[in-house]
Structures are given as structure tokens and as C-alpha cells.
Structure 1
Amino acid sequence: MTLPENRLKHCLSNTDDRVAIHIVTIPSAVVTQAMAAAGADGLIIDMEHGAIDHASAHAMIAATAGTHCAPIVRVPEIDAAVVKRVLDLGAEGICFPLVRTAEDARHAVSCMRYPPRGVRGFGAFIAQSRWQTDLPSFREATEDRLINILLIETRDAVQNIEEICAVEGIDLLVVAMFDLSTDLGHMGEFDHPVVRDAVGRIEAAAKAAGLPLGGNALSREMADGLFDRGYRAIAGFDLLWLRAKTSEIKGWTET
């Protein structure tokens, strides 16, 4: 069975297109469906932080049906059992936190592939419906369509970034500025020389390896700044968008 091309994966690997990928922390299929319908290229369903359980994640993945939006799950750790379960819910990709070494990156890739290429166990009883395939053809139809996103958020990752970028099977690196600045000892000080130097090293390594980069952008100005530096993906947060818009509207009532 031949499935339609994964639009987000195609954009990341075969074009210079810019994409918008939002992190979804609210355990709601309604929120996910609205954001997917609004044109998000991908949604990262956050199971590392917050209140989303597996039942909510399944409903949120299903809610992207009928759109071009790729449902991706951020897992709490690089663990084959954890990855297997959310892929078997129908996720089209995984966002891996705390990737510190090239070995971590290789393990992340392995968790998403079936033997002999990886260690994923087979049990796509739910996922076959999301992918509109059947069990016999599931592996062949889906394995190379999955999206692998690595978060670069530690001092160790920066030190090992060239080796991480050389690992086959990575679709996108995301610079997680809050975590990275915290691990470097300068929480939230994004303009601190230590933080800027670390980010510069990540950017240089990704460019040399031909890997697309993503970063958080909570305003048009932030997004333009990332694009000017060669980033291809911008990310926001559903809860932060909601808080910001609610605060803005409250301002309309003030005299």
C-alpha cells in the first residue's frame, strides 16, 4: 500500500520551506483539531511535561485527521518501550528530549525502527487505522515516513553536537533555549555570551551537516530573527498563545 507523502517530512528534507510546529500541552482533542485545521505543519503532543496521558494523546493524534498537520509526540525519555507505545497510537513522529551524545541520537533512531534496523516491537493494531493501512503492510508503508526530532538542551549536547549531527535518521534539531540556558547556568539569559556561544556552535554544526534547525518563536520578531539565521522551523506553545491572547483581550477593557 502506498500512502500519501508525509508533508512535514518532505518539507524538512527536500525543500527550503519554513514550517510552524506548535507544542501542545493542553490534553484536548478539540484544541489539537483547531490548531491542525488552522494550518499548523506539525503539533508536538507533550508527554514529557504536563497532564497528557495516553488516552488523551490517542484522541489528539486522531484529531489531526483530514489535515496536513503531522501529530508528533514528545516523550519523557529515550526509551524503546515509551516510544513504541506512542507510535502504536498512530503518531507520525517523536520528539526526543535530553539528547546528550551521538549514542543517544542513534538510540532514538533505533527506537523508531523495526528489526533489523532498530528495536521497535510490532503491535500497530491502533496505528494501522490512523495510517489507513493494514498490519501486513504497516512496516513497509510507514517506517521511513516517521519524523525524528531531537531537542538540544544541555551542555553535553553542545559539546557533542558535531557527532550528534552525523547520525543518520535525524529530521530536525530544535534548540531548546530555556533548558539549554538553565543547564549552562544562565537561566533565561538568552543573550549571555556563554549561551550565545553554545547556540552558535549548534547552528554551525547543523549547517555543516545539512540538518534543519528549529527554535521557539513567540512573536513575529522572534520568528524573523530565527529565519534570518537560517532556521527552518519555528515552535510555539498552545498554553502561552492562550494566555497571551486572553491578556491582550483583557487590555481592551481598560480605560
Structure 2
Amino acid sequence: MVYAMAAAGADTVFIDQEHNLHNTETVFELVAHAHAAGISPLVRPPQIDYAWITRLLDGGCQSLLIPHVRHPSEVEHLIDLAFYHPRGRRGVALVGGAGVNYQEVTSATDVMRWANDNLLVGLIIETPEAVEALDELLLPGIGLALVGHGDLAQLYGVPGDPRHHLVLEAQERVRALCAERGIAYGVFQPSPHLIASEVELGAQLIVHGGVFSFIRKSVKDFRKTVEGALTADSTSAMVQPGGRPSVHR
């Protein structure tokens, strides 16, 4: 599936461990295939935790998108776990594995610098607490932020209403602060018709669709096309010579 996404022209494949049952080994394989296919894997772990963050990074994940942040202390802890010195205190794993791009390690400081320079840490702003503390959450080391409309709407008491003014105001705050601090701004956008306007407003990452939604849409479109063709064909049935109608199935 990762190779198919890359061949179809996607720039990024979103690997979700929050709402899917992928174990860590499966994620490592997906990440390795993504790198081989020339597509950037963006991994969402379920939470900020030493075991999750460290193992994902050591397994080759270089782009992490963190859900449900609420407090600045959580972001500080995340940066400590994800970055080597001088930015953080990531557990040292320089044994030539995926976390160091399989290169031979001749200089620990060079490899740590390479790992820091090639790491993207992003936050999903999807709690009211995160919106209130936004200025303190977007710390140096955070390279991406986007709004989680579904959870944020639910926690604001308006479930299923991502266009509610509270959600839109939160999105505008995130967009403005990202622009001010030079942080990439992204969106979850289910409608392809709105993507151009999102880009015009500054979005640099568009998360759209998923394996099941892509398959479902393709099957529905195919069925609609075929049924339309068959209906048109049946209505154009002509009586054959001898008074016998042609048969269409």
C-alpha cells in the first residue's frame, strides 16, 4: 500500500497508531518501505511515552505527529525524549540501525546532529487546554502544528461540528502563530474541493483520506459508472428485425 501511494503521487503517507492496531514492528516495516519508495512517512503514536517515542525513532521514524497535547510540560518532555544533546536527552542508540540511517558511526556528535537535523516533531492541537496554552506549546523543536477538528469540536461541546466558530477561531490562532514563528501549518481536510483554499491560507501539509476511504470511493465511483452505462445501454435497446428485442444484462 505504501508503494502504491508513492506511485500514485502522494508526498506523505500517514501511519496512525492512535486509532489503528499496528504494532511497532509493523510500523517499522511501513516506514522502511516508505523510505525505499521515496515517500515521507508521518507516524502518529498514541501518546507521549518513552517506550513509544524512543522505539519509533530508533526504528527509523523521522516525522512524529503527537495527539492530545494539553500542557507545556508535556511538550518539554516530548522534546527531551525526541532530540539528542543539546536540544534534548534522547536515549543514545548509535549502533548503525534505522535510527541513524544505517550508516557507519564514526562520530557520535555527527550522528546526533544528523538525527536532530532530520527530525520533524509535530503537534495536533485538539484540546481546549492546548488552544489556551498555544503560545507555550509551540516551543523551539516543534516543526509542525495542525488542528484536530473532530476531537476539538467534541471537547468544546459541539460534536460533529468542525465549522463551529470556536473550532475555526482555534484554527486561526494556530495558523497565525505558526506563521509568526516559522512553524509549518497543516490541516486535516476531507474535502478535496477545499484544499486549494487551505493552501492559499498557508497550509503546508494536507492530511486527506485513508486506505478505506480511498477504496470505498473508488468502488462507489466504479459501480456508479457501470450502472449508469448499463442503464443507458438498456434504454437504447432496439427492436431487432422480426420483432424480437435485443437482450442486455
TM class by smaller structure: 0.7 to 0.9
Long gaps (5+) in structure 1: 1-30
Residues 22-57 of structure 1 deviation map (CA, whole Å, 9 limit, x = unaligned): xxxxxxxxx112213333322221111112111211
Q: Is the 8 A contact 2:69 2:125 kept in 1?
A: yes
2:203 matched residue in structure 1: 231
2:60 touches 2:100 (CA, 8 Å); kept in 1?
A: yes
- Report if aligned partners of 1:92, 1:145 keep a CA contact under 8 Å in 2: yes
- 1:250: how far off? 2.1
Alpha carbons 1:42, 1:71 under 8 Å: kept: yes
Query: What amino acid is aligned across from residue 151 of structure 2 in structure 1?
Result: D
Q: Percent identity?
A: 29
The structure-2 alpha-carbon separation of the partners of 1:136 and 1:96, relative to structure 1 and needing over 3 Å to count, comes to: farther
Q: 1:65 to 1:231 in 2, by over 3 A?
A: closer
Residues 213-222 or 122-131, more deviating: 122-131
Inter-partner Cα distance in structure 1 for 2:201 and 2:86: 38
Matched, 1:241 2:211: no
The match for 1:63 is: 33
Paired residue for 2:62, among 92, 100, 103?
92
Task: Report deviation, 1:60.
Answer: 0.5
Deviation at 1:136, TM superposition (A): 4.3
* 1:112 positional shift: 0.9
Give, in angstroms, the shift of residue 81 of structure 1: 2.0
- Work out which structure has the larger RCO, using CA pairs closer than 8 Å and 6 or more positions apart in sequence: 1
Partner of 1:35: 5
What is the TM-score with the length of structure 2 in the denominator? 0.81
Inter-partner Cα distance in structure 2 for 1:187 and 1:200: 19
Q: Give yes or no for contact 1:39–1:69 (8 Å, CA) kept in 2.
A: no
Name the amino acid aligned to 1:231.
A
**Partner residue of 1:140 out of 110, 113, 133:** 113
Answer yes or no: is the 8 Å Cα contact 1:110–1:118 preserved in 2.
Answer: yes
Larger radius of gyration: 2
Alignment RMSD (CA, Å): 2.1
Between the aligned partners of 1:41 and 1:86, the Cα distance in structure 2 is: 20
Greater Cα shift, 139-148 or 90-99 = 139-148
Which residue identity does 1:184 align to in structure 2? Y
The question of whether the paired residues in 2 share the 8 Å contact of 1:212 and 1:231 is answered with yes
CA contact (8 A) 1:158 1:198 kept: yes
Cα offsets for 1:81-137 (capped at 9, x unmatched): 210011111112211111212222222222111245323212355734871412444
Q: How many aligned positions are there?
A: 224
2-structure distance, mates of 1:45, 1:130: 20
| Cα distance, 1:182–1:136 mapped onto 2, change above 3 Å | farther
Aligned counterpart for 2:180 among listed residues 208, 218, 224: 208
